[in-house]
Each structure stands twice: as C-alpha cells, then as structure tokens.
Amino acid sequence: MIHFDERWITISWDPHIEAVVAEWKGFAESKDFRAGLEAGLELARQKRARRWLADTLRGPPSTQADQKWTSEIWFPRVIVAGVRWMALVVPQSAITRMSLKGIMSKVTTESLTQAYFEDAASARAWLAATPRFGPG
C-alpha cells in the first residue's frame, strides 16, 4: 500500500513483513527530504510499525542540517512511535553513504536495532525474521 509517492521517495506499507518501506529515488530539497520522513513517521504511527526498511540505494546525500534534524528530531520520534528494527539498504553513492553514516552514527539507543544490506531482498528477509513484538 503506497502512502506517499513523490519523485524523490515512495513511502509504503509492506504487509508481508509488517514494515514501513521508504524507497529513496533521487535528490530532495530539505523541505521535501523532511516531508518524506514525516510521511513515513505518520504511517509508522498509523500501523503501529515495529519495522522500517530504508532503501537508500538510489538515495541522495543530505545536508548537515538535515542530518542533524534526522538524528536529533526525527529518530527519537520514530522510536517513541514504536519502531524497533531498521534495515538500511546501503547507497550506491559514496557521498550518500557518508551522509547515511553521519545520521546513523548519532542514533545511539538500545531501543533501535539497525542492520545494513546491499539489497532490499536481504533487508526484507532480515526484517521478516525479527520478532513481531520486541524491546521497548
């Protein structure tokens, strides 16, 4: 089920793995980058999601300000919403990989288990194997 679809991101619900799926498709201005993540958070709240798949394979690099916003503002809200497992598909772009590492290095919580994958199929398999109910 597609919840939010723009040229830079698609946010959907995958009922097979009971996860929010954020598939980044290209460059996003700051307001659009944040709008995409906010749409995902809204869906996570609606579905009481415990799992999140961030497919950043074709994702854009993010600004320092967006990295800071994501790690300091958005992630705590996602965790409060109940997300406990996040699978991240590693970006092709070295610059985007650095942006992702910049964000994720600041997410230090025992409430969120993160794992990195080269492809979405592996990420989905890992999420499918996580407990339906878990920490937090």
Listed by start position, the domains of the chain span 2-129
What's the pLDDT score for residue 53? 98
Indicate whether 136 pLDDT > 70. Answer: no
In contact, 26 and 20? CB cutoff 8 Å: no
What's the pLDDT score for residue 134? 55
What's the pLDDT score for residue 131? 85
| CATH 3.30.750.24 at 2-129, yes or no | yes
131-to-26, 34, 50, 54, 117 alpha-carbon distances in Å? 32, 29, 9, 18, 19
pTM score above 0.85: yes
Give the pLDDT confidence of 63-103 residue by residue, as tens digits.
Answer: 889 888 998 999 999 999 999 999 999 887 777 767 767 67
What is the residue-averaged pLDDT of the chain?
Answer: 89
